[in-house]
Amino acid sequence: MAQSPYATLNPPRRILMGPGPSDTHPRVLAALGAPTVGHLDPYFLQVMTETQVMLRQLFRTKNELTLAVSGTGSAGMEACVVNLIEPGDKMVVCVNGVFGGRMADVAGRAGAQVTVVEQPFGETFPPEQIAEVVALVKPKVVGIVHAETSTGARQSLEEISKIVHDAGALLLVDAVTSLGGIPVEVDGWELDAVYSGTQKCLSCPPGLAPVTFGPRAIAAIEKRKTKVASWYLDMTMVRNYWGQDRAYHHTAPINMNYGLREALVLVLEEGLEQRWARHQKNHLALKAGLKALGLNYAVPEGKQLPMLNAVLIPAGVDDAKVRGMLLNEFGIEIGGGLGPMKGKTWRIGLMGETSSPRNVLVLLAALERCLTSQGAKVTPGAGVAAANAAYAG
């Protein structure tokens, strides 16, 4: 046998504290390596059923059409948009970050007449702004991001949901970063279609996109006059694979679904409320530590996400050098800013498995070293001390 010129795969061990993916639990990694069966094997069909049941609990919904799209979070976005939108339909998209902008792009490609409502990166939308535009445009769909990964901003949805429905429109929500980290109340907030991803607060590698469609969304899909633009993401066919008929549509990524199922088991073993509380607790400790290091948040108080902390880079500190030092010397990944925030912010993730006191304290200690190497004036040990005080308090 000829010797391969390629070395055995041996990825470095990182602490993933960026905007995603997050650290993966050993049980999920083990599930990914379990024996592969066929996509219509009775065992896999049972995995699909259990995954749906757990996803409904996670989304806090009774929606029958709740499943894992074969693709990353962006595939979930496209699945929701192309199923709800027909060419010529009016859609309002709220853009206050990169992923709102992506939704608007996807809607335009699906043939929608897109009206973009904007807020600066890091800000959120007041309900009256949405009300004004919806009354003027009279759209079929309003799209909004619950947790904007590019900025760390948290959008309130309850009042906006009522405004949208009173206008006769559907509300489409991006919950890629929020699902499993903060409450996502699909039924309680009457959200019509919601998509997420596996690699954020669910701590499963990227590759699947949990989605859920409510009764109003399904009615809109069933009233379509044209075929869904994407064959692969057409819910009128995909739902037959995930429904009682289990009719073949495509070969699902078997082992990725194993991983998601195990990740959901871990979420429910911990308990949703307890998981939300853990994310908040570690966020507050990190926030206290960052403040002690002289770092301020890029998002106003009260609108900050606990799982994605966007902080302003101090004057005179080199963004890339700090992130490079964290990665190369400490094995810690954090993210840089996107769009107008590029070079101005760091995005520090505390998602799922990554959200722990150990990671908070290790990052603060390493970040202090990086800042002092750049000439920043930092009180030695201040960040770790402040975080420990927050945990103790």
Confidence tier at 157 by pLDDT (50, 70, 90): very high
* Statement: residue 384 has pLDDT above 90: yes
Could you report the per-residue pLDDT of 341-376, keeping only the tens digit for each? 999 999 999 999 999 999 999 999 999 999 999 999
Confidence tier at 271 by pLDDT (50, 70, 90): very high
Cα of 119 vs its chain's centroid, Å: 20
Q: Distance between CA atoms of 42 and 127, rounded to whole angstroms?
A: 47
CATH number for region 272-392: 3.90.1150.10
Q: Distance between CA atoms of 42 and 101, rounded to whole angstroms?
A: 41
Could you report the per-residue pLDDT of 189-243, keeping only the tens digit for each? 999 999 999 999 999 999 999 999 999 999 999 999 999 999 999 999 999 999 9
Confidence tier at 135 by pLDDT (50, 70, 90): very high
CA torsion sign, 319 to 180 to 71 to 65?
negative
For the stretch 322-330, contacts whose Cβ atoms lie closer than 8 Å and that sit 24 or more positions apart, written own/partner, are 322/346, 322/367, 322/370, 322/371, 322/374, 325/369, 325/370, 325/373, 326/363, 326/366, 326/367, 326/370, 327/14, 329/366, 329/369, 330/15, 330/362, 330/366, 330/369
**Tell me, what's the pLDDT at 19?**
97
Please report how the helices 254-270 and 272-292 are oriented relative to each other, as an axis angle in degrees rounded to 10: 80
Please report how the helices 272-292 and 382-392 are oriented relative to each other, as an axis angle in degrees rounded to 10: 140
Tokens representing 320? 């890339």
Contacts of 42 (CB under 8 A, 6+ apart): none
**Tell me, what's the pLDDT at 312?**
98
DSSP-derived letter for residue 350 is -
- 21 cis-preceded (ω within 30 degrees of 0): yes
Could you report the per-residue pLDDT of 36-64, keeping only the tens digit for each? 999 999 999 999 999 999 999 999 999 99
- Domains of the chain, by residue range, sit at 26-269, 272-392
Query: Angle at Cα 350 formed by Cα 345 and Cα 356, nearest 5°?
Result: 140
> What predicted TM-score, i.e. pTM, was given to this entire model?
0.97
> What are φ and ψ of residue 303, in 5° steps?
-120, 10
What is the arrangement of strands in the sheet containing 308-312, beginning at the earlier edge strand? 308-312, 345-349, 335-336
Of the candidates 269, 207, 183, 277, the one whose C-alpha atom is nearest the C-alpha of residue 20 is 207
Residue 383: how many CB atoms within 10 A of its CB? 28
What kind of fold does domain 26-269 have according to CATH? Aspartate Aminotransferase; domain 2 (3.40.640)
**Tell me, what's the pLDDT at 2?**
79
Mean pLDDT of the 70-81 span: 97
Could you report the per-residue pLDDT of 329-343, keeping only the tens digit for each? 999 999 999 999 999
**Tell me, what's the pLDDT at 346?**
98
Inter-residue contact 133 to 163 (CB < 8 Å): no
* Statement: residue 30 has pLDDT above 90: yes
Confidence tier at 244 by pLDDT (50, 70, 90): confident
* Statement: residue 1 has pLDDT above 80: no
